[in-house]
């Protein structure tokens, strides 16, 4: 079983009800935090996890709304005397950016008690970044303004796909089946540069091959419900608009 905890579901500008998008995936008691925004330490605890339980951090890209919570999270782990190793998965194109940030926040001076391993991958191709007996995680190229990846999690014959920030991506239609597609929808209908709309997702992907669609990276005052109401029957039942602190199990 996999559990998906939505720590934030908003677009680049957070709102009263939505923090910037970051998602915690838990598979076989392994916790993978995808992007780090908002107040990650508090959000993780609100999802009944401890900071010590985070095994991996996967950064999809280096736009500030997806990474600005990382210093706060590492600070919290240090203050709570974390000792377990932590692995940060990052596109090789952003490795130097991450190292520079560590220097800026003077991470080396904290005398932390846990090892941080930076594991890079090639963001231009499909790359296996985590391989366990019962599940695997792969990244794939997204279509955004800067180097960006989406990710897929495969476990027990099931597949979860997360788009990250992207225009409509033909790679998603190459899957034979997807149990859960988590996709950004910066807008409801209008096309926004390097992003997707809810309407675009629902009309561009082969929904008969997707069991459930959950939308994130949402913007205030967009008519998402209006678009959702245009769909009926079996298709409508598989579409959901995410909220902060929502949990889903599959």
> 76 pLDDT band (50/70/90 cuts)?
very high
Confidence at residue 233, expressed as pLDDT on a 0 to 100 scale: 79
* pLDDT tens, residue by residue, 168-215: 999 999 999 999 999 999 999 998 899 999 999 999 999 999 999 999
Do 113 and 83 touch, CB atoms closer than 8 A? yes
Q: Which of 140, 138, 139, 209 is nearest to 179 (CA)?
A: 209
DSSP label at residue 110: G
Q: Classify each residue of 32-51 as buried b or exposed e, where b means 16 or more C-beta atoms within 10 Å of its C-beta.
A: bbbbbbbbbbebbeebebeb
Closest CA to 7 of 50, 38, 29, 49: 38
The answer to whether 87 and 120 have CB atoms below 8 angstroms apart is no
Query: Where do the structural domains in the chain lie, given as residue ranges?
Result: 2-249
pTM for this one? 0.97
> Above 90 in pLDDT, residue 239?
yes
Residue 56 has pLDDT above 90, yes or no: yes
Token pair, residue 35, equals 């992007």
Handedness of CA 119, 123, 127, 130 (dihedral sign): positive
Q: Which residues are bridge partners to 31 per DSSP?
A: 26, 54
CATH number 3.40.50.150 given to 2-249: no
Average pLDDT, the chain: 96
Buried b (16+ CB within 10 A) or exposed e, 74-95: bebbbeeebeeebbbbbbeebe
The residue whose two tokens read 């709102």 is 15
**Residues 183, 171 contacting (CB under 8 angstroms):** no
pLDDT confidence of 234, banded at 50, 70, 90? confident
Strand partners, 75: none
With residue 25 as reference, give the H or E element that holds it.
strand 22-27
């Amino acid at each position: 079983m996999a559990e998906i905890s939505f720590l934030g579901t908003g677009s680049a500008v957070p709102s009263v009800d939505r923090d910037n998008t970051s998602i915690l995936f838990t598979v076989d008691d392994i916790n993978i935090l995808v992007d780090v925004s908002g107040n990650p330490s508090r959000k993780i605890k609100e999802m009944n996890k401890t900071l010590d339980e985070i095994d991996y951090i996967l950064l999809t890209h280096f736009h500030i709304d997806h990474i600005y919570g990382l210093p706060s999270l590492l600070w919290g782990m240090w203050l709570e005397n974390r000792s377990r190793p932590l692995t940060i998965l990052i596109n090789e194109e952003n490795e130097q950016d991450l190292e520079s940030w560590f220097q800026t926040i003077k991470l080396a001076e904290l005398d932390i008690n846990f090892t941080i391993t930076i594991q890079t991958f090639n963001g231009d191709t499909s790359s296996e970044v985590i391989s366990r007996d019962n599940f695997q995680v792969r990244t794939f190229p997204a279509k955004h303004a800067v180097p960006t990846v989406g990710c897929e999690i495969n476990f027990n014959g099931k597949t979860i796909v997360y788009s990250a920030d992207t225009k409509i991506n033909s790679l998603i239609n190459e899957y034979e089946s997807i149990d859960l597609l988590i996709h950004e929808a910066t807008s409801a209908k209008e096309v926004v540069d390097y992003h997707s709309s809810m309407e675009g997702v629902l009309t561009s992907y082969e929904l008969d091959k997707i069991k459930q669609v959950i939308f994130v990276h949402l913007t205030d005052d967009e008519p998402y419900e209006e678009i959702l109401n245009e769909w009926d029957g079996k298709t409508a039942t598989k579409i959901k608009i995410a909220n902060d602190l929502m949990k889903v199990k599959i």
